[in-house]
Each structure stands twice: as structure tokens, then as C-alpha cells.
Amino acid sequence: MQQVLKRVSALLLSYGCLLLGSGLFLTLLSLRSSLEGVSTTTTGLIMSGYYVGIFLGARYSASIVNRVGYIRTFSVLASVTSIIPLIHMLWVDPIAWFVFRVMTGFAMAGLIMVTESWLNTGVDNKHRGSLLAVYMVINYLGAGAAQLLLLLHEVEGYQLFVMSSICFSLCLIPVALPHNAEPTPEPLQPMKFLPTLKRTPVGFYCAMCAGFLGASFNSIGPLFALKIGLANDEIVLFMALGICGGLVLQTPVGKLSDRFDRRKVIALIAALVVSSCLLMRWQVLYNYELIALLAGSFIYGSLAFTLYSLAAAHANDWAGNGQRMQTAGALLVAYSIGAVVGPMLSAGAISYYGPIGLFDTLAFGAAILGVFSVIQISGIRKFRPQSKRQFVPRPGSYFTSGEIYRAVQAESEPVADYPAQDIEIDKGVK
């Protein structure tokens, strides 16, 4: 494993710099929009543009990789992400900022796609799980550490934009310098998501809810903290604890879902997310203590950010041979839909109901998932545990796009639409 890490250390270092720039820029833009007089609803629209770009980039940037290769694609897209924070300082306009967010999401999707695909081609099956664990830790720690950079300068100045640009530029150096051969891109194949929705509606909607909850917290969470009167350093702690909390329950929840029906675990986590949102609501309404608010953020993150892993595990339980790539792409489509809608609804709720509107919206989304899961559980036969796939933690906070790239890559056999004989289904639902 040490040899594997040594071989991909430069790539992981670049990825860490990339997350520092992205995490800093995401929180900074949410706070700066408010300071520039942009309405809360408009801020939500601006922030949702990032996830529009993530979906578009994950779907179409693969063709760039196939034409020019991994290193050139990484270099071009990293340059784009480095330029965009600087442009925000020169052109303060909501429409322009929305377009810039779409561009940022597109570039980030391509960059993360290159990273994940490169990592997967550079490791054998024996070490892939361990490498994925390291990669997941970098996801959460990088995004969480990025929040601490906000302590170095005032949000009102230009320095944090420059720092974000520097982090994006730094991610180029480790990838460009080594002489390791880059992987050969594989041919592309169209992506379909309706067969997965038919096979496993709970998995599909769980992935959508994961996008809704994660994107809303990451994009609108700083605005919520600002409106309830937290200082900049307190906002940083609030966000960092919520994001890093995503690491805590991945393994325990995974083991629980390997033992019991995953839909029951999804329903349980959804109920706990609702409870954590109500706790946050109570804190805001009744003169919160900072320590309790920070604890609530940590609890929310530790619960909400396990949902995408559960969605992936449950969906793959019901995927037959030749359907893995198709399933991964479908879940990414679902996540993207939730991630686009979430910030817009959350921002609108804050505009009409005040800061508590954020966690009211999050509670509503989680409650729908919980009720839907219970309905599905009561509607079909008991799941057979022996047919389960092993739970694999997924980075569901700062969502990555490598799986959607692999979902549109060709397999040794064409992806079948939905072979009914692969899995026996009662009443057409799972």
C-alpha cells in the first residue's frame, strides 16, 4: 500500500489543493453575496449554478479527456478555476456570478473526474478499498480545512479571492512535474438512468435527497450562520464541523446497513436528520448557545453525509451484471437534481421565514425520504441479506464526479437497459 500511495501522492496532493480552493471559494461567495446586497433568494440561485455546472461537466468533459488526455485536461480546467475567483472581483453582478458558478462547476467536475479516474486505473483491486478510504479522508479534511482559511482575512476584502485562486493554481504543480505515464482514456457510451429508477426507487431518491441536503448546507449554511449573528470565526467553525462530521458515522452506518435492510437504515438516518434539524431550529428560536449550535452542525453533517453512501450501496444491491456503470451514472443524475434544487429552496425559505427556514427545508426534504422509504418497505417482500453488496463509503458532502465519468465509459459488454431476469422483483418496487 505504501508503494501505491507513493505512486499517486502527487495526484492526491493536487486534489487536496483543489479542495482547499473550492471549499474556500464556496463559503466565501455565499457570504460575499450577502455583503454585496444580493437577496437571499438570488444567492441561492447563484450557488445552485455550481451544481448545474457539476452535472454538465461530469457529462461532457469526458470528451475533452478523450481528445487531449488527462494532464492537458487537468491543466486547462485548473487554469479556468484559477481565473474565475479573480473575475468575481472585477464584475459584481448576480447574473454574471451565476454564469461563473456554472463554469466553476463544469471545470471542477472535469478536474475531479480526471483525479478519480486516474486513481482507479493506477491501483489494483487488492488496494483499491484502502486508496478509496484515503481519498475520502482527503475529501472531508480538505473541504473542512478550507473553512479555516477564512480566518486569515476579512470577507469584505479581495485577499480571500486571491487565496482561492492561488490554491487552484497550486494544484497544477504536483500533477505537471512528475514523469509518471498518464492513463489511456477509454471510449464513451451513453448514460441511462430510468432503468435504475425502476429497479431501486429508494436508492435513486436517497441520492437525490443526499444532493439536496449536502448542497443546501454547503451553499446556504454560511448565509444562515451570518443571519443569526455569528462572527466570521464562528461561521468558519460552524461550517468546518458540519463538513468534517461526515467522516464520523460512515463506517458504523455502513456496518449497520450491511446487517439490516438498507431501506430501514435509510429511513432511520432520515428520521435522525429531521431530529437534528429540529434541534437546530430550537436552538435558533430559544437563544442558542454557541457550543450547542456547533454540536448541532456536527451532528447534522455526520448523519446527512452518509446518505449518498447508503444510496450507492442499496442501488448496487439490485444492479445485475453489466449494470454497475449505468447505476453509478443514474445516482449522479439524482444527486445533481437534488443539489440544484436544494440551495434555491433553502434560500427562498430563509427569505420568507428567516434563518430557521434553512433547517425547516432540510427537515422537510429528509422527512419525505423517510416516509417514502417506509412506504417502499411495507410494499414488498423482505430483502435477502445474503444478496447484498458490501457497503463502500462515498464522499457525499463535496460531491465528486468520477463515477459519472466511469458511468459513461464503455464496458466489456454493452450496458443493458433492464433485464428483468437478473433480479426477481415483487410488485415492481424495491
pLDDT in tens, 269-324: 999 999 999 999 998 888 778 898 999 999 999 999 989 888 877 877 776 655 55
**Whole-structure pTM value:** 0.76
* Domain annotation covers residue 416: no
pLDDT at 313: 78
**Contact assessment for residue 98 and residue 49, using Cβ atoms and an 8 Å cutoff:** yes
Quote the mean pLDDT of the chain: 80
pLDDT at 79: 93
Provide the number of structural domains found in the chain.
Answer: 1
Pairwise CA distance, residues 92 & 103, whole Å: 16
Ranges of residues in the chain whose predicted pLDDT is under 50? 381-386, 397-430
pLDDT at 186: 58
**Contact assessment for residue 358 and residue 224, using Cβ atoms and an 8 Å cutoff:** yes
CA dihedral 282, 288, 289, 294 (to 10 degrees): 60
pLDDT at 181: 62
CATH number at residue 17: 1.20.1250.20
Query: DSSP code of 37?
Result: T
pLDDT in tens, 235-284: 989 998 998 888 888 778 878 887 888 889 999 999 999 999 999 999 88
pLDDT at 143: 84
pLDDT at 408: 40
Report which residue type is found at 102. V
Segments forming the whole domain that contains residue 31: 2-180+189-407
* Domain annotation covers residue 422: no
* Domain annotation covers residue 285: yes
pLDDT at 383: 47
Contact partners, residue 336, CB within 8 Å, separation at least 6 = 51, 52, 54, 55, 58, 211
* Domain annotation covers residue 247: yes
